[in-house]
């Protein structure tokens, strides 16, 4: 029998309490849901606008079960939640996406092995458990190559580029005794992402492909639609649907892809949640990625993902506050009426810390990029 939808008025549980959870909670509250959040921190971006903020370790499974008893469904704000935590929740309520999706996607090696075993295109890789493994992998794949920790890496963390064999011992030591993965370096011309949703009965919807530009391994500017041929955008969506179906995702999943210089797509990483690159959907689509997550995990019909006009998003890192001498020049940035400002409720700006973002919608991609870039510059320069 098909499960009943979880209707407005119900309480949704979120594991993790950063800005993604905050925007999910805002979308859910607008739709009439209550929000409970669980994480080891207090006064968090999500907790500030939730009905209940539970501050406890993820490994305190008694507290986790007590949290789950107060909600009708549990979802994730980020993927680095221990598997035991999601299993404890699943004893009592649906967890969407389920713990197996989380288990696969929170470890780069498991993720790559899953993708490769299902025929999805990935760069060549090798498991690294010893210096001897790394030396053999460097021979197999050639150098340069990218050495990554298998777990707990994002925004470039846990990654090293190896260009010579002399670097191998130091690079291996950098893993700190943890499992690693060596990936062949990809000659890519662009990075893109697909944020897609899937329901319990297999309905699927993907937002238009996002084109992503990074700075120091952190997403800097996202634009949509991506400046790729229509058939390649279609292939990216087909790949995303295949991956969500193979994983049995209920909820949202983001597929990050390389576009090689010869026009092929390679899957880079998966994120079983909303994504930094999808923030522009808040202002450019009838349904944002956060509302879509609510709809998918609650068993409601999926929303319209049409991009009304070209759009661009610029991340605001703590660097902006520091370079502006403490207070960004908000008035100067908002002189352009097309600019939308989103801040995440974080009190302490630090270099590299995501504090908010700007979005612009325009007639062309180039105009949207120019508007958000200039607005961000005015935050510092006035």
> Where are the chain's structural domains?
11-95, 124-184, 188-381
Helix axes 61-69, 83-90, angle to 10 degrees: 40
Q: What is the pLDDT of residue 3?
A: 83
Measure the CA–CA gap between 309 and 332, rounded to whole angstroms.
24
Q: Tell me 53's DSSP state.
A: E
203 phi, psi to nearest 5 deg: -65, 145
pLDDT of 2 higher than 90: no
Measure the CA–CA gap between 306 and 286, rounded to whole angstroms.
7
Residue 87 has a CB neighbour count (10 Å cut-off) of 17
CB distance 197 to 295 below 8 Å: yes
CB distance 356 to 297 below 8 Å: no
pTM above 0.85, yes or no: yes
For residue 210, give the H/E element and its range: strand 210-215
Express each pLDDT in 166-218 by its tens digit.
Answer: 999 999 999 999 999 999 999 999 999 999 999 999 999 999 999 999 998 89
DSSP 116-174: HHTT--B--EEEESSHHHHHHHHHHH-SSEEEEESBS--TTTTEEEE-SGGGHHHHHHT
Can 11-95 and 188-381 be said to share one CATH topology? no
Measure the CA–CA gap between 336 and 374, rounded to whole angstroms.
9
Q: Tell me 219's DSSP state.
A: E
Q: Is CATH 3.30.1020.10 what the domain over 188-381 is classified as, yes or no?
A: no
Express each pLDDT in 254-290 by its tens digit.
Answer: 999 999 999 999 999 999 999 999 999 999 999 999 9
Express each pLDDT in 116-152 by its tens digit.
Answer: 999 999 999 999 999 999 999 999 999 999 999 998 7
pLDDT of 155 higher than 80: no
pLDDT of 64 higher than 70: yes
Express each pLDDT in 6-54 by its tens digit.
Answer: 999 999 999 999 999 999 999 999 999 999 999 999 999 999 999 999 9
Residue 246 has a CB neighbour count (10 Å cut-off) of 14
CATH of domain 124-184: 3.30.1490.20
Q: What is the pLDDT of residue 340?
A: 98
Measure the CA–CA gap between 260 and 243, rounded to whole angstroms.
20
The CATH architecture that domain 11-95 belongs to is 3-Layer(aba) Sandwich (3.40)
Find the DSSP H helices in the chain: 19-30, 61-69, 83-90, 99-105, 108-117, 131-141, 168-173, 230-247, 281-284, 289-298, 318-323, 330-333, 365-381
Q: What is the pLDDT of residue 153?
A: 61
């Amino acid at each position: 029998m098909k499960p009943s939808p979880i209707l407005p008025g119900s309480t949704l549980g979120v594991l993790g309490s950063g800005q993604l959870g905050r925007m999910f909670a805002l979308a859910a509250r607008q739709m009439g849901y209550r929000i409970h959040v669980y994480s080891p921190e207090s006064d968090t971006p999500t907790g500030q606008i939730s009905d209940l903020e539970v501050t406890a370790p993820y490994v305190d499974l008694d507290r986790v079960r007590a949290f789950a008893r107060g909600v009708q469904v549990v979802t994730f704000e980020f993927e680095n939640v221990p598997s035991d935590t999601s299993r404890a929740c699943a004893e009592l309520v649906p967890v969407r996406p389920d713990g197996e999706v989380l288990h696969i996607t929170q470890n780069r090696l498991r993720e790559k092995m899953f993708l490769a075993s299902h025929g999805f295109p990935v760069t060549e890789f090798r498991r690294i458990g010893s210096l001897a493994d790394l030396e053999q992998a460097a021979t197999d794949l050639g150098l340069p190559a990218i050495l990554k920790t298998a777990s707990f890496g994002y925004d470039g963390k846990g990654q090293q580029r190896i260009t010579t064999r002399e670097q191998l011992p130091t690079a291996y030591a950098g893993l700190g005794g943890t499992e690693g993965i060596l990936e062949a370096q990809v000659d890519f011309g662009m990075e893109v992402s697909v944020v897609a949703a899937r329901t319990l009965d297999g309905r699927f919807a993907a937002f238009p492909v996002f084109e992503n530009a990074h700075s120091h391994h952190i997403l800097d500017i996202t634009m949509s639609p991506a400046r790729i041929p229509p058939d390649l955008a279609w292939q990216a969506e087909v790949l995303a649907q295949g991956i969500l179906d193979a994983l049995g995702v209920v909820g949202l999943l983001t597929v990050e892809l390389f576009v090689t210089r010869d026009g092929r797509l390679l899957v880079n990483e998966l994120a079983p949640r909303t994504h930094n690159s999808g923030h522009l959907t808040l202002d450019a689509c009838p349904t944002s990625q956060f509302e879509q997550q609510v709809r998918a995990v609650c068993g409601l019909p999926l929303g319209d993902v049409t991009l009304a006009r070209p759009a661009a998003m610029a991340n605001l890192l703590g660097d902006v506050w520091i370079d502006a001498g403490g207070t960004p020049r908000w008035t100067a940035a908002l002189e352009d009426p097309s600019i939308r400002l989103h801040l995440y409720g974080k009190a302490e700006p630090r270099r590299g810390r995501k504090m908010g973002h700007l979005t612009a919608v325009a007639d062309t991609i180039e105009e949207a990029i120019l508007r958000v870039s200039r607005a961000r510059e005015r935050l510092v320069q006035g």
